Amino acid sequence: MIQLSDYVMNFLAQKKVEHIFMVSGGGGMFLIDSLGRSKDIKYVCNHHEQASVMSAEGYQRVDGKLGVALVTTGPAATNAITGVVCAWNDSIPLLVLSGQANSNFLIGDTKLRQRGTHEVNIKKIVESVTKYAVTVTDENTIRYHLEKAYFLAHHGRPGPVWLDIPVNIQSKNIDVDSQVSFSPEAENILRKPLIDLENVKIIAELLKKSKRPIIIAGHGIKLGKAEKVFLDFIENYQIPIVTTKNAFDLVYHEHKMLAGRIGTYGQRSGNFAVQNSDLVLSIGARLPFTTVGYQTELFARDAKKIIVDIDPEQLKYSTIKADIKLEADCVEFVEKLDFVLNNSIIGNSEWLEKCAHWRKKYPAVIPEMEKEGDLVNSYYFFKILSNVLEKDDIVVTDQGASFYASTVAYEIKPGQKLFTNGGFSPMGYGLPAAIGACFANNNNRVISVNGDGGLELNIQELQTIVHYNLPIKLFVFNNQGYLSIKHTQNAYFDGFFVGCDASSGVSLPDFKKIATAYGMSSVQISNQTNLAEQISEAIKKPGPMIIEIMMDPMQPFMPRVTTEKKADGRLVSKPLEDMWPFLDREEFKKEMIIKPVEE
């Protein structure tokens, strides 16, 4: 016999889980005690349950193993939800274990609001943002639920799962041999989708006929562990690619097949390549509006469009009208396509040269961003940061300026990781995700880049960094508020600000004093003179560090696809290739291969 809570920890240890992120609480007391006594799993204490789940999510992105968070019942469980939605939207395998009130006192299917102590029916709340959610009320089913949750977290399109375990169930003694196991086959769950080979053959023929093919490389390639077969494929067939925001670190900056990064806040070169192509093959990308633009009918409008994705629902409700939709695992698809193509010649050197021309002519960081002055430009900062960092460094960003600038200007080196939560994009993600990344990185250096506004949402996690003496170098963009909101209100409401800077209700602290209060070192960088040297000196110092970057409070985001409010109130966006700052119209027309959209 074994206590159920011990069985849970033993199960996770067998799955090679080495860290669990948690906030203590009475409703999870037996799970917490078993975790504390585990010889195989270490616990990490955060100061908010949202941060625990975000730490677990960041941990999984670096380590590749299941991210796990442990919280108690009631408000602790609801606090965790934002982190769970992050994992849901970005397809991250993650398990949340929550304590719950005594199973004999639960509201069940009644219309009661609450019965047990701190009770909330968390299962019903999180069902729409998890692949599996269950309240375990029978101790003899724990093996089944653990196995099913673990399987579904990784199966198909990955995602979060949630096991809610009442306190009196946690303490039960169970007979391991009498536990029922989970079998995917018994429940008619295919381990991988069966690929339609006829469609693969059609795709191969379209590639052979194409003169200007482009591949959109999505996060699914990384999730499916298809990086090697994919890179071998594009190098063998010489097909240029663009990357989406969750796949920027799939290929390094100097890779000859990289045409750029696509999106409304992407690179001009990447958008030119996609929009002027005659064949778009999207692999493992959900193609949100921030990737394809808000006028989806103008996306790659002269191209055949093929979407390959493991999620049938994503294919069914795709944002663009595709000529072919194929449900497939990334590895199997690329291998089968390679087999069918059999080293056929794809594309041509003229198209590759055109893509290279756009990258050279339209660099992410332009001269005006590099000027020395009293403030630091976020785009130039990321370019210099990428040059300073080592090949195995990990960079985690928050949202707003840190996200928009990094996705355009950071120049990935082989072996580096750069990520944020691209789907849900919550302010306050960067700091706790960096904590998880640091533990997954064997407590080696991690770079976290945050906005002054975003940092406030999980600022309590500075104590977690200090407590564990994590070598996280925390850059804080001081642009005096919410820069992206300031730009939005400036564009649509004639500069009438509400809730975005000190004059409109949002004031922010002195970060030097914050660092002192938490017992951290800090430094301020206020200009671009010898910026590489300033950054190098700051990140060399041992232990945690706050590095404040002083920025123009109205620094523009560029390039970007703009949206105009018409007289009748309609919002109309430009096509993806026509980014602000707008090119001279003659130059723009000269660069376009297909017919530009009429003004």
Q: What is the pLDDT of residues 25-37, one digit of tens each?
A: 999 999 999 999 9
Residue labelled with tokens 């006192």: 105
Cβ-based burial of 577 (10 A; exposed 0-12, middle 13-18, buried ≥19): buried
Is residue 583 domain-resident? no
Query: What number is the average pLDDT over the span 113-123?
Result: 89
- Cα–Cα distance between 313 and 288 in angstroms, integer? 14
Residues 205 and 313 in one domain: yes
Residues 352 and 393 in one domain: no
C-alpha distances in angstroms, 375 versus 366, 378, 449, 473?
Answer: 16, 10, 17, 20
C-alpha distances in angstroms, 289 versus 258, 298, 319, 320?
Answer: 22, 12, 7, 9
The amino acid sitting at 531 is L
Residues 124 and 219 in one domain: no
Report percent pLDDT > 70 for the chain: 100
Q: What local confidence, expressed as pLDDT, does residue 194 receive?
A: 85
Residues 305 and 410 in one domain: no
Q: How many other C-beta atoms are found inside a 10 Å radius of the C-beta of residue 192?
A: 13
- Cα–Cα distance between 232 and 403 in angstroms, integer? 29
Q: What local confidence, expressed as pLDDT, does residue 108 receive?
A: 85
pLDDT in tens, 232-275: 999 999 999 999 999 999 999 999 999 999 999 999 999 999 99
Residues 408 and 292 in one domain: no
Residues 255 and 122 in one domain: no
CATH code at position 451: 3.40.50.970
Cα three-residue angle 226-229-232, rounded to 5 degrees: 140
Q: What local confidence, expressed as pLDDT, does residue 568 receive?
A: 85
Is residue 162 domain-resident? yes
CATH code at position 283: 3.40.50.1220
- The lowest-confidence range among 143-147, 371-375, 509-513 is 371-375
Domain that holds residue 448: 367-550
Among 187, 218, 250, residue at a domain's last position = 187
Structure tokens at 234: 């594009």
The number of CA neighbours under 13 Å toward the Cβ of 11 is 24
Query: What number is the average pLDDT over the span 204-217?
Result: 97
Is residue 265 domain-resident? yes
Q: What local confidence, expressed as pLDDT, does residue 596 receive?
A: 94
Reported as a pLDDT band with limits 50, 70 and 90, residue 599 is low
Per-position b or e across 501-521, b if 16+ CB within 10 A of its CB = beebebebeebeebbeebebe
pLDDT in tens, 186-197: 988 877 788 999
Strand-pair category, 571-573 with 563-565: antiparallel
Among 314, 345, 361, residue at a domain's last position = 361
Residues 88, 132 contacting (CB under 8 angstroms): no
| Coil vs helix vs strand at 283 | strand
Report the candidate in 265, 264, 223, 267 with the shortest Cα–Cα distance to residue 241: 267
pLDDT in tens, 284-305: 999 999 999 999 999 999 999 9
Q: How many other C-beta atoms are found inside a 10 Å radius of the C-beta of residue 176?
A: 11
Residues 212 and 354 in one domain: yes
Residues 11 and 148 in one domain: yes
- Note the residue count of the chain: 599
pLDDT at 14 over 70: yes
Per-position b or e across 234-252, b if 16+ CB within 10 A of its CB = beebbbbbbbbbbbbbbbe
Residues 215 and 85 in one domain: no
Residues 296 and 380 in one domain: no
Residues 268 and 130 in one domain: no
Q: What local confidence, expressed as pLDDT, does residue 566 receive?
A: 79
Q: What local confidence, expressed as pLDDT, does residue 103 receive?
A: 84
C-alpha distances in angstroms, 459 versus 42, 141, 399, 508, 509?
Answer: 23, 39, 15, 12, 11
Residues 218, 242 contacting (CB under 8 angstroms): no
Is residue 284 domain-resident? yes
pLDDT in tens, 151-181: 999 999 999 999 999 999 999 999 999 999 9
Reported as a pLDDT band with limits 50, 70 and 90, residue 372 is confident
| Coil vs helix vs strand at 364 | coil
Among 144, 169, 187, residue at a domain's last position = 187
Is residue 558 domain-resident? no
Instruction: State whether the Cα torsion 110-114-119-125 is positive or negative.
Output: positive
Q: Going by C-beta distance under 8 Å and a sequence separation of 6 or more, which residues neighbour residue 91?
A: 157, 158, 159, 219, 220, 223
Query: What number is the average pLDDT over the span 320-325?
Result: 97
Residues 540 and 396 in one domain: yes
What average pLDDT does the chain have? 96
Q: What local confidence, expressed as pLDDT, does residue 563 receive?
A: 85
Is residue 587 domain-resident? no
Residues 260, 359 contacting (CB under 8 angstroms): yes
pLDDT in tens, 478-535: 999 999 999 999 989 999 999 999 999 999 999 999 999 999 999 999 999 999 999 9
- Cα–Cα distance between 70 and 540 in angstroms, integer? 34
Distance between terminal CA atoms of the chain?
Answer: 75
Is residue 591 domain-resident? no
- Cα–Cα distance between 214 and 310 in angstroms, integer? 20
Q: Going by C-beta distance under 8 Å and a sequence separation of 6 or more, which residues neighbour residue 387?
A: 411, 532
- Cα–Cα distance between 138 and 439 in angstroms, integer? 34
Query: What number is the average pLDDT over the span 337-352?
Result: 92
Is residue 108 domain-resident? yes
Structure tokens at 72: 């108690």
Q: What local confidence, expressed as pLDDT, does residue 565 receive?
A: 77
- Cα–Cα distance between 229 and 593 in angstroms, integer? 31
pLDDT in tens, 397-436: 999 999 999 999 999 999 999 999 999 999 999 999 999 9
Report the candidate in 141, 140, 123 with the shortest Cα–Cα distance to residue 132: 123
Residues 450, 514 contacting (CB under 8 angstroms): no
pLDDT at 58 over 70: yes
Residues 315, 325 contacting (CB under 8 angstroms): yes
The count of domains in the chain is 3
DSSP state of 195: P
Peptide bond preceding 75: is omega within 30 degrees of 0, i.e. cis?
no
